[in-house]
Amino acid sequence: MAATLLELSDFSVQYATSRGKVRALDSVNLKIGKEEFVALVGESGCGKTTLGLAAIGLLPPRSATIAGGSISYKGVDLSKLKPGEMQNYRGSEVAMIFQEPLTSLNPLRRVGEQIAEAIVLRIKKRDPTSKVKGAPRFPGLRWKLSPGLKSEVEQMLTLVRIPDPEHIVDRYPFELSGGMRQRAMIAMALSQQPELLVADEPTTALDVTTQAQVLKLMKEIKDKLGTTIMLVTHDLAVASQVADRVVVMYAGQVVEEADVREVFSNPKHPYTQGLLSCIPTGTRDGKQLTPIKGTIPDLTVKKDACLFQPRCPYAMEVCSKKPPSLFEVGKDHRAACFLYGK
Amino acid sequence: MAVRLREVLSLMTRNKQSIVGLTIVLAFLITAILMEASALLNVQFTPYPANPLPSQASPQLLPPSLAHPFGTDNLGRDVLSRILVATPYDFMIGFAVVGSAVFIGAVLGGLAGLRGGLLDEFLMRFTDIFFALPVLLIAMVVGAILGGGIENMSLALMITWWPSYARLARGESLKVAHQNYIEASRLSGQRSPSILFRHVIPNISGTMLVYATLDIGTVILVYSGLTFLGLGNHPPAPDWGQMVASFNGYILTDPWLALIPGLVISFGVIGFSLLGDGIKDTLGIR
Amino acid sequence: MNLLRFLLRRLAFAVFVLFCVLTLTFILSHLIPGDVIQAWLGKEAALYPNVAKAYAARYHLTDPVYLQYIYYITGMLQGNLGISPSEGFIPVSSVIESTLPLTLQIVLLAFVMCVVLGVGLGILAARYHNTPADAAIRVFYLAGYSSPPYFIGIAILVVASLYLRILPTGGEYDAVLVSPSTSITGFPIFDALVQGNFSFAENASIHLILPAMTLALVTFGVITRVARSSLLDVMQADYIRTARAKGLDEGSVFYRHGVPNAAISLITISSLVMTFLLTGSVFVEFLFSYPGMGYYAFKALQGSDYPGIMATVFVFAAIIIVTNLVADILYAYADPEIRLG
């Protein structure tokens, strides 16, 4: 396997809420290697977004606490970073794009200015003494980009295949379509040449055609630039289109991990199997969709058992006695289920 | 989100800020009721008479002391007693004006939001005009025409106070008007006024109450300004603002005369501000 | 071009409102009980019946109402506002001419103080929100806007003049100085500066400080409250998270993305601020014996000077309407969705 870029070791995160402490992530073990395209898949509330935020150090400081374990990037424990180091880390090593591109871009700033801000950050981080002209001192004024900066912005826009970049530079986010906004966000994220790109449901707000285009773009980025991509999504179909490896999460834990083809042809964990039978196949073979019965567990309660057990058609006695660890079930294929180990 | 009336009442005690505010407001309220009762029953509840005869008066211009906690004025009248006696007018006018403004505003604005169309347009333009006119100035003009006195000033304030409530009610009513139960009521034949009173108004009253609470303090402030300008009760009946104005000449020699009534006014208004802000915080309204 | 249409609509509306205000003052002036001539001329009218008759003829006071209305409107638009009994029967327009600039001097200074204080404290309160500093700021502005302007003014007078003895207790300027002879801008201070009369300019400016400060203390609370809450809202927005994800430092996130986006909501309350300042000026000018339009309004009220009252109400309303219009223009410029259609 390629060198490990991001490593989570027994990583647990809790949120303080009015109902009590919610265990968003519970002893997660995960390794993401260089130039991998990993999809984190699971339903709402499974902790995949929390994992993504943790990778870029954007867990809400007031409510989230790391309850155990560690998350490391290139061997450096992220929780030990000082604020200044964290700011350096964000954007330049790990970048993130979000689900809603309209609200994730500053509505009062031109697209070009926002991308230029990222480019200037890249330059300043590499060379703090650089005299490159940043945004104007008075934040409300328009930033007239220098020709060099402007052409760099246009290059980034071309990279993400936005048509007519010279004019897009001066447009505001509300003037672009959803797909173009997302591309602009990707351009902004790539401006600092990060090694890891975390994408949190980037296509959920887009229509199916645009979705396919953006996913294709992301795959291109991985191939051309060698960027490692961690895609967070609830949609298995999306994962199947672009990912190399799929990590299935449930209730804050990793339940299955495998090559994308393996997961789809040979799912081992009952939850994964349930998810796959939920996907409408688009064929008229008369089979009914079988939803998974039951609901996700209450994450405020710590259980010393398999969290999926109440909904599992194969539940055994041992499942309610202790939590399963990730057992090897094939080549680079792991599943957390007592069907495959003790 | 439409907030129900009953919930808001219990919300008034939910956080520290609103409890302090509520305490202050209740203190003034009880005083006002007591003073009103004393006037009706012809019993004196104040330590000294508010309008004593020269023979009953205490020495003039005494600084605050145990006998006269707020001192005496240039006519030997006990300042504390005069402030107490003025409470029913200066304080309760807040309730009267805001109450009527809320009612008028709720009906007009609620109807406009519910019906939409021409009525709505007309209301919006009409209230727009009102927003350009400072309340104080209109009240001044009305005062100049009709003369002063609490009844005239109340009228003047009631006329100019309702537009912002109409706007608020319209906004809230618009949110409510699209709900399904409104549609259902209409389809079952209910006419607008009935829908308005049965469904719309109960749902918007909560939000309006929050703004009203903050606003009562503002009315007290404006009215004190009017009395300052001489438009309040005719002397010798006391009014807080009027007291401050009449003691303007004594600022350098006996500052407490002008400062104390001003402090009382501020206190009363702060009480409502705290209460209103507290409720706002509890409900999470901006 | 949507922008142009939008602005033209706002302008047309402003003119319409102004017109309505004029009509309103006309209606009100004809509701004055008693003899119209007496009302407009004051009590002396009875003593000089010939003058009263001439006056009535000149101002068409005996014509049918609709004619009076037309004369009223045309007169107003030409600057003919009648004559003022409380000021010795000189034309109201000349009274306004001499008093309005003075009031504007105070109001503008107060506006600047208000904005600086209000926005500054609002930003601080948002940055350190839920800390004691935030609570302290809240108490400060709560006390400010809950207190009547004259109370704050008196308190300031007492403190500044009695105990500190550094600032003057009132008046426009010390009597020993000479005011500027010719009026170029209409504003005494600017006239003095232009003519090189620096001692006057300085002295008159010092006299502005206390009244303006009083007004500012009463009004800044509104700005602080809006600034604080809109800043807090903005900082929850998604694009703030994006800015952090870029690796931008917290300070830049706050000042480059948070503050400008929150500032827009301040534009919408500027006419409210102006309303507070103008109505407050009536009290403040009285307290500090500052001969501006607020003081004139007060004297007119006391003296039952109806032309004076109507005129001041009209001018105040006009200022507010203009402020509204300017705010609309600024907002349209600041919000790209309106600006670019």
Residue B1: inside a domain: no
- Between A62-76, A167-181, B33-47, C154-168, the lowest mean confidence (pLDDT) is in C154-168
Host domain of residue B15: 11-31+79-283
What percent of chain B has pLDDT above 70? 88
Residue with tokens 């500066």: C193
> What is the distance between the alpha carbons of residues C238 and C235, in angstroms, rounded to a whole number?
8
| pLDDT for residue A203 | 85
Nearest C-alpha neighbor of C186 from the set C292, C273, C261:
C292
CA atoms in the 13 A half-sphere facing the CB of C49: 0
Report residue C314 as tokens. Answer: 């009209």
What is the separation of C-alpha A124 from the centre of its chain, rounded to a whole number of angstroms?
26
Report residue C107 as tokens. Answer: 């109001």
**Mean pLDDT across the stretch A199-223?**
88
> What is the distance between the alpha carbons of residues B154 and A219, in angstroms, rounded to a whole number?
72
Answer for the pair A249, A42: CB distance below 8 angstroms, yes or no: yes
> What is the distance between the alpha carbons of residues A302 and A28, in angstroms, rounded to a whole number?
15
> What is the distance between the alpha carbons of residues C76 and C82, in angstroms, rounded to a whole number?
9
| pLDDT for residue A247 | 92
Other CB atoms within 10 Å distance of the CB of residue C130: 10
Nearest C-alpha neighbor of A275 from the set A304, A253, A255, A305:
A255
**Mean pLDDT across the stretch A207-220?**
89
Task: Please count the structural domains in chain B.
Answer: 1
What is the separation of C-alpha A131 from the centre of its chain, rounded to a whole number of angstroms?
34
Q: Specify the DSSP element, H or E, that contains B217.
A: helix B201-228
C152-177 pLDDT tens trace: 888 887 777 666 656 666 666 665 56
Whole-Å CA distances, A221 to A149, A189, B42? 22, 12, 89
Angle in degrees, CA A182, A184, A185, rounded to 5: 65
Whole-Å CA distances, A238 to A46, A231, A235, A279, A340? 17, 9, 5, 11, 28
Q: Please report, for the domain that includes residue B107, its CATH number.
A: 1.10.3720.10
Q: CATH 3.40.50.300 region(s) of chain A?
A: 1-93+195-281
Report residue A213 as tokens. Answer: 């285009």
> What is the distance between the alpha carbons of residues A288 and C92, in angstroms, rounded to a whole number?
87
- Partner residue facing A108 (CB), from C247, C255, C261: C261
Q: What is the DSSP code string of C5-44?
A: HHHHHHHHHHHHHHHHHHHHHHHHHTT-SS-HHHHHH-GG
The size of chain B, in residues, is 286
> What is the distance between the alpha carbons of residues A5 and C73, in angstroms, rounded to a whole number?
79
B138:C313 CB<8 A:
yes
| pLDDT for residue B4 | 57
> What is the distance between the alpha carbons of residues B161 and B131, in angstroms, rounded to a whole number?
10
Other CB atoms within 10 Å distance of the CB of residue B175: 14
Residue B269: inside a domain: yes
Strand order in the sheet with A4-17: A20-33, A4-17, A64-73, A76-77
| pLDDT for residue C262 | 87
> What is the distance between the alpha carbons of residues C331 and C160, in angstroms, rounded to a whole number?
39
Give me the helices (H) in A160-207, please.
165-168, 178-190
Nearest C-alpha neighbor of C129 from the set C138, C140, C142, C139:
C138
| pLDDT for residue C268 | 83
Mean pLDDT of chain B: 79
> What is the distance between the alpha carbons of residues B106 and B178, in angstroms, rounded to a whole number?
17
Q: Give me the amino acid identity at C311.
A: A
Instruction: Please indicate if any CB of chain B lies within 8 Å of the CB of C309.
Output: yes
| pLDDT for residue A231 | 93
Answer for the pair A187, A115: CB distance below 8 angstroms, yes or no: yes
Query: Best interface-test mutation with A: which of C231, C236, C242 has the largest number of A CBs within 10 A?
Result: C242
A16-56 pLDDT tens trace: 887 888 888 888 888 998 888 999 998 887 888 899 999 98
Mean pLDDT of chain A: 86
Query: Best interface-test mutation with C: which of B251, B256, B272, B283 has the largest number of C CBs within 10 A?
Result: B251
| pLDDT for residue C242 | 92
Instruction: Collect all residues with Cβ–Cβ distance below 8 Å to C97 and sequence separation of at least 6.
Output: C186
Residue with tokens 């930003």: C123
**What secondary structure letter does DSSP report for A95?**
E
> What is the distance between the alpha carbons of residues C153 and C170, in angstroms, rounded to a whole number?
11
What is the separation of C-alpha B20 from the centre of its chain, rounded to a whole number of angstroms?
18
**SS3 helix, strand, coil % of chain B, rounded to 5?**
75, 0, 25
Q: What is the DSSP code string of C135-203?
A: HHHHHHHHHHHHS-HHHHHHHHHIIIIIII--S--SSSS-TTSPPPSS-SSS-HHHHHHHTT-HHHHHH
- Min Cα–Cα distance to chain A from C245, Å: 6
Report residue C138 as tokens. Answer: 């809240």
| pLDDT for residue B143 | 76
**Strands in C49-119 per DSSP E:** 83-84, 90-91
- Min Cα–Cα distance to chain C from A181, Å: 13
- All partners of chain B with 3 or more CB pairs under 8 angstroms: C
C256:A139 CB<8 A:
yes
Report residue C230 as tokens. Answer: 């809109």
B262:C151 CB<8 A:
yes
C233-269 pLDDT tens trace: 888 889 999 999 998 888 888 888 988 888 888 888 8
Q: Give me the amino acid identity at A123.
A: I
B185 pLDDT band (50/70/90 cuts)?
A: confident
Residue B104: inside a domain: yes
Q: Which residues of C touch A83 (CB under 8 A)?
A: 250
ipTM above 0.90, yes or no: no
Q: Which fold, A1-93+195-281?
A: Rossmann fold (3.40.50)
- Partner residue facing C321 (CB), from B132, B225, B269: B132
Max distance between CA atoms of chain C, in angstroms, equals 84
Answer for the pair C235, C258: CB distance below 8 angstroms, yes or no: yes
Residue B189: inside a domain: yes
Query: Best interface-test mutation with B: which of C147, C293, C298 has the largest number of B CBs within 10 A?
Result: C147
| pLDDT for residue B1 | 40
Q: Give me the amino acid identity at A199.
A: A
Residue with tokens 């002295």: C203
> What is the distance between the alpha carbons of residues A139 and A135, in angstroms, rounded to a whole number?
7
> What is the distance between the alpha carbons of residues B274 and C72, in angstroms, rounded to a whole number?
47
Higher pLDDT, B280 or A243: A243
- Between A83-97, A177-191, B133-147, C25-39, the lowest mean confidence (pLDDT) is in C25-39
Report residue C70 as tokens. Answer: 């037309």
A136-151 pLDDT tens trace: 777 667 888 888 888 9
State the distance between the two ends of chain B, measured CA to CA, in whole angstroms: 12
Residue B163: inside a domain: yes
| pLDDT for residue C341 | 64
A vs C, Cβ pairs < 8 A, gives 80
B3-17 pLDDT tens trace: 555 665 676 777 788
For C234, nearest residue in chain A (alpha carbons) = A106
B265:C317 CB<8 A:
no
| pLDDT for residue C183 | 61
Query: Best interface-test mutation with C: which of B250, B266, B272, B275 has the largest number of C CBs within 10 A?
Result: B266
Report residue A130 as tokens. Answer: 């650089």
Whole-Å CA distances, B33 to A6, B39, B98, B259, B261? 71, 10, 18, 25, 19
Residue C132: is its pLDDT beyond 50?
Answer: yes
- Min Cα–Cα distance to chain C from A88, Å: 6
Q: Which residues of C touch A96 (CB under 8 A)?
A: 245
| pLDDT for residue B286 | 46
Burial annotation B190-216 (CB, 10 A radius, 16+ → b, else e): eeeeebbeebbbebbbbbbbbbbbbbb
